[in-house]
C-alpha cells in the first residue's frame, strides 16, 4: 500500500490541495518546491492502494470532521442549514 502526503494552500478550507507519493525518488525535492510555493503539509500520511483512493480518504476525513463539528454544536448546524437553504433558493431564482 502506498503512502501519500497531502499539501494544501492556507485559507482554502482544504479545497486547493495536491499530494505526493512518499516512495517517489523525487518526493523530498517536490515537497520542498510545494512548501516554497506556499503549500502546507496537511495531516499525517494517508495509506491507500492508489491515488484515487488516497484523494477520497483525504476528502472524506474533512467532510467527516465537519459533520462531527456540526453535530456537536446545534447553533452551527442551524446556521449551516439556513445558509444552504439560501444558496439553494438563489440557484433556483437565477435559473
> What is the count of structural domains for the chain?
1
What pLDDT score was predicted for residue 67? 57
pLDDT tens per residue across span 6-33: 999 999 888 899 999 999 999 999 999 9
Is pLDDT at 71 greater than 70 in this prediction? no
The residue among 10 and 69 whose pLDDT is bigger is 10
Residue 7 pLDDT: 97
Q: Is 76 left (phi over 0), alpha (psi -120 to 50) or beta?
A: alpha
Q: Which residue range forms the structural domain that includes residue 59?
A: 2-94
> DSSP labels for 20-76?
EETTSTTHHHHHHHHHHTT-EEEEEEEEESSHHHHHHHHHHHHHHHHHHHHHH-HHH
Does residue 66 surpass a pLDDT of 60?
Answer: no
Amino acid at each position: 500500500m502506498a503512502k501519500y502526503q497531502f499539501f494544501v494552500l492556507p485559507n482554502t478550507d482544504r479545497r486547493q490541495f495536491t499530494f505526493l507519493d512518499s516512495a517517489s525518488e523525487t518526493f523530498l525535492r517536490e515537497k520542498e518546491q510545494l512548501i516554497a510555493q506556499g503549500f502546507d503539509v496537511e495531516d499525517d500520511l494517508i495509506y491507500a492502494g492508489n491515488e484515487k483512493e488516497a484523494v477520497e480518504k483525504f476528502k472524506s476525513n474533512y467532510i467527516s470532521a465537519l459533520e462531527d463539528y456540526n453535530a456537536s454544536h446545534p447553533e452551527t448546524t442551524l446556521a449551516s442549514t439556513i445558509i444552504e437553504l439560501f444558496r439553494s433558493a438563489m440557484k433556483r431564482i437565477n435559473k
